[in-house]
Amino acid sequence: MESYRIGVVGCAGRMGRMIARIVQQTEGCVLAGGSDRPDCGALGSDLGVLAGLGALGLPVSDDTVTLFARSDAVIDFTTPAATAIHADLAAQAHAVFVVGTTGLDSAQEKRITLAAKHTAVVRAANMSLGVNLLLGLVEQVARALDPDYDIEVLEMHHRHKADAPSGTALALGAAAAAGRGVDLERAAVRSRDGITGPRNPGDIGFATLRGGDVAGDHSVIFAGPGERIVLEHRATSREVFAKGAIKAALWARDRKPGLYSMRDVLGI
C-alpha cells in the first residue's frame, strides 16, 4: 500500500511542527507538505528542519490549494477563520479533514458540516485519548449524582491560547449537561466578578486560567454536601494531540463522507 500523504496547515506553529514530526515518524505515513500564512516568517523554510527532522525538501508555502490537492488527508489546528476556508478546500479536493481548531462561530461550523457532505471530516475539541475517556466519565457521573452536586469546569492553558473557555472545557461542560439532561447554553456560567450573589442551583460553571507553557489541564468538579468528586486530565506535551490527530486521519482513510468525532475513531 502506498504511503498515506498527510498535509499540515499552520505548519510553522508549535502544534503544526509537532504534527509534522509525528507524521513523518508514523509507519505508513509521509508528509505531503505544509502551508502557513504569508506573514508567518517561515515561508520557504524546509518543513523537515522546522519540525526537527532534518531537511526533507518540503518548503513551507502559502499555497494551501495545492497542499490539499496533493494530500490524502490534512490536519488543521489553526484559527476559526482559516479552518472555515480549509473546510471548503477539503471538500473540493475530497481530502480527509482532521480539525482540532476550537472557537468556531455558527457560520464557520456550518462550513465544516457542508464539507462533511463531500469528504470524511473528523472534528474534536481535543484529540487525546485521555480527554475523550474523560468526556464519557463526566457524562456518567453527572447522570448518577443528585442535582444538589454543583458542577464546575476548570481549565488552564499556555499564555498564547486565544479562546476561552477552551473548546475542551466547553465539551466537558456539554458532557455534564447531557448527563443532567439540561441545555448547556442555559446552565453555563462563564464568568463571575463582583457581588454575584449565591450560586444558582443547576449552574455549570467555567473558570479559565492562562500562563506559562501549559499544554492543557482540565478538571471537572462535582461539589456536593460533605464531599467533592474531581475528574481531571493533564496534558504534559502537545504530542498527545498530534498522535490523536494522526490516528484520526488514518482511521478516516477510505471512510464515506461524513462528520465524525474522536469517539468514533476510538470506538467509545
The residues, any chain, with a CB within 8 Å of residue 142's CB and separated by 6 or more, are 151, 175, 176, 177, 178, 179, 180, 222
Task: Give the active site residue among 110, 117, 161, 233.
Answer: 161
Catalytic annotation present for 233:
no
What cell was used for 161?
Answer: 491560547
The residues, any chain, with a CB within 8 Å of residue 186's CB and separated by 6 or more, are none
At residue 130, φ and ψ (nearest 5 deg) are: -60, -45
Q: Are 241 and 249 in contact (CB under 8 A)?
A: no
Catalytic annotation present for 158:
no
Task: Give the active site residue among 86, 157, 233, 247.
Answer: 157
Q: List active site positions.
A: 157, 161
